[in-house]
Structure 1
Amino acid sequence: MAAVFREYASVAQTGTSDDIALPMEPSPKRRRMRGMTHAKLCKRILLGHGTGHREKYLPWLTLRRKNPSPRSNQVVSWMPPLNRTAHYFSRGEFHTALLLLWLGVHDLREQFPLWPTPHPHPLDGLPHAPDKPHHWSRGLLAIATEANIVHGFEVGTRVPYIASLDLLATVSLPGRTALAAFSSKPISDPNDEIGWRTLERLELERRYTADIGAFYFVSSSALIPLLTAGQLETWLDASTLHCAPHLLASSREFAGIFNDCTNLQINEAVGLAAASLSLPLDDAWLLFRHCACTVPGHRTSTLIHRPAS
């Protein structure tokens, strides 16, 4: 080996290489393409990704080890109101979802696909809804062509890119069920410069939602105060009672006692329920937070029909 390096040094000094081949670093192996292919696309569709409602919904995109974000704090969390695990690609998406679920949306689907070709309306197949026909979506390809915006392809392929909405909420309005779409972007200041391609994507989302008769909003984690976001996360933690599973058996009885005390303030009603069930006050407050997230009707009575403590 020493002789090789001596010869290499000699060649470097003379600038000739007639009698020796310079040692080269080994060529790295070509990495396999991990992007979307037609076969992967068909497989995901057959598995049901991007379809269904409530606990039967499977998001089009899911968080895995190989797709972390260098900029966003991503969250995979069990969501009791949905009775399933949800995948949020940023903390802003997560906090927006928590707020929407707290406000009582009927359903909330994250990473919802905007199929490029004509497809059924996103409300089709909604359980316990009137069998009312909805017009199909024209597909994002047609909408992009109409807007004179390049739709795009999956990297390295001719497969049309499958765009997705961050959040698609199903809400109950007087006499009808409606959809509200939310695009969560890391915008902390209204004067922040937004990339041109991002603006084009937002415009395609706006046009898509208008085409299916849905409301459309661009949201940001900056719109939800940190204190509110922290409280929502605390309430979500209490929703499963994983830290005190022995209290689960008392949740219904606690909610019944609490809701019967309509003339008391919240702290007084919690104290009365604690005494009635012979529970420590700390356990009673934990049950209060749990019931507010999970027991039907309890959240409404707590927020609307009660004086503040």
Structure 2
Amino acid sequence: MELAEQIERDIGTLVDKHRRAALESPSRKETLLHWLATIDTPTSTLKKRRRVMTWDKLNTRIQQGYGMGHGADYQPWLTLRRKNSSRESNQVAAHLHPLHRPGYFFSRGEYQIALLLLWLGIHDLREQYPLWPIAHPHPLYGAPGTDGLQLGYCTGLLDIAAEAGIEHGHFPGTDIPYVATIDFLVTVRDGSDFDLVAISCKPIEDPAQEVKWRTLERLELERRYAERNGIRYLIISSRFVPILMAGQLEWCMERASLADTPHLAQSVLGFSREFTSAPNLAVSDAVARASESQQLSLEEGWAVFRHCAWTQAIDIDLSTPLLTSYPARRSGRTLRERLRRSLFEGRAK
């Protein structure tokens, strides 16, 4: 948790600075007197007080580990709460079985892209990842297996924004620099080599579609942050994953891990071999046959099948309709490898 401790120290310094400034401000007493004067006001005439960020709240969130960690220990900077619901998109909170933790997505498109990324076999996925306004340790810092890497510090987004001549932004109603987030920060591992891919998921369907100027500025800041820190940067349409494929991926992801059922995990190799030995059998018949060979109930057999489809222990194309009364369509492994190359090949310089 060195990252958390370092960020906490830096933010803590800012908290103390602003607390002292507030206490020494000539208007402090007047503000307190005005606040006290409102106590006796009838509640019917009081307006609902707007929740705003404070330096203490910001420090508390960092102490609690939001925006930090790796794998199952990661906590997104933003989570779904009633006050940040959206009228324009379906927000999703779902358990990410491959990562053994809950995930929070601010649109269904984000969730569907997360399903695809996990199916591609990435090492780690961190949604709603903070691009800290101040200098901070590299996003890979503290990840298992990176002890020998010389990662160094990252430039804060405040400085990057100043260099670009783009307004960084503040929390509404405050002078506290906003903590911007990127939709996904993906870790791809090949042996001892680690690569990061930053992905911005936006509802852009047509390259000619007009995009708000502020959105373009935010995307440019994300791009510059990634470039400065040697991270590959992608912008993906929220419609990138077909609904059919997303649904089938979600169905299979529930059995991505068989850690809680070791007897099923031991049957995967034999099950997949028996299933693929009869390529002309309908999926339902092949599952029944493979289940019997491993002395599994039919229900257990379908659980193993879903696991094999997710891991591609059985080569099956999840981008096409999975019709159980027909033989399985192959080429899922080819599709997965092609997508991995298109999204993750090439290292940012």
Query: TM-score per shorter chain, which class?
Result: 0.7 to 0.9
Match of 2:224 among 207, 232, 237: 207
Unaligned 5+ runs, structure 2: 1-42, 317-327, 332-349
Residues 1:101 and 2:114 are matched in the alignment: no
Name the SS for the 2:187 alignment partner: strand
Q: Is the 8 A contact 1:258 1:269 kept in 2?
A: no
Q: Show the counterpart of 2:271.
A: 258
Match of 1:77 among 94, 101, 112: 94
Q: Is the 8 A contact 2:126 2:184 kept in 1?
A: yes
Q: Using the alignment, how far apart are the partners of 1:227 and 1:238 within structure 2?
A: 18
Deviation at 1:187, TM superposition (A): 1.7
1:127-276 correspondence to structure 2 within 5 Å: 127-173=144-190, 176-239=193-256, 248=261, 250-261=263-274, 264-265=277-278, 267=283, 270-276=287-293
Q: Using the alignment, how far apart are the partners of 2:45 and 2:83 within structure 1?
A: 20
Match of 2:127 among 110, 116, 131: 110
| Higher Cα Rg, which structure | 1
Q: Using the alignment, how far apart are the partners of 1:263 and 1:58 within structure 2?
A: 40
Q: Show the counterpart of 1:308.
A: 330
Deviation at 1:251, TM superposition (A): 1.6
How many matched pairs? 274
Deviation at 1:248, TM superposition (A): 3.6
When normalised by structure 2's length, the TM-score is: 0.72
Q: Show the counterpart of 1:31.
A: 48
Deviation at 1:232, TM superposition (A): 1.3
Q: Using the alignment, how far apart are the partners of 1:262 and 1:209 within structure 2?
A: 44
Name the SS for the 1:222 alignment partner: coil
Match of 1:56 among 73, 84, 92: 73
Q: Is the 8 A contact 2:275 2:289 kept in 1?
A: no
Deviation at 1:30, TM superposition (A): 2.4
Percent identity reads 47
Moved over 3 A (4+): 237-241, 247-250, 259-263, 265-272, 277-283, 290-293
Q: Is the 8 A contact 2:272 2:308 kept in 1?
A: no
Unaligned 5+ runs, structure 1: 1-25, 242-246, 294-298
Q: Is the 8 A contact 2:76 2:127 kept in 1?
A: yes
Q: Is the 8 A contact 1:113 1:163 kept in 2?
A: yes
Name the SS for the 1:108 alignment partner: strand
| Cα shift readout 1:12-51 (whole Å, capped 9, x = no counterpart) | xxxxxxxxxxxxxx97412223122111100000001111
When normalised by structure 1's length, the TM-score is: 0.80
Deviation at 1:280, TM superposition (A): 5.0
Q: Using the alignment, how far apart are the partners of 2:47 and 2:138 within structure 1?
A: 42
Q: Is the 8 A contact 1:265 1:307 kept in 2?
A: no
Q: Using the alignment, how far apart are the partners of 2:190 and 2:219 within structure 1?
A: 25
Q: Is the 8 A contact 1:254 1:273 kept in 2?
A: no
Q: Using the alignment, how far apart are the partners of 1:249 and 1:302 within structure 2?
A: 19
Q: Show the counterpart of 1:10.
A: none
Deviation at 1:108, TM superposition (A): 0.2
The letter for the 2-side match of 1:178 is D
Q: Using the alignment, how far apart are the partners of 1:175 and 1:147 within structure 2?
A: 34
CA RMSD of aligned residues (A): 2.7
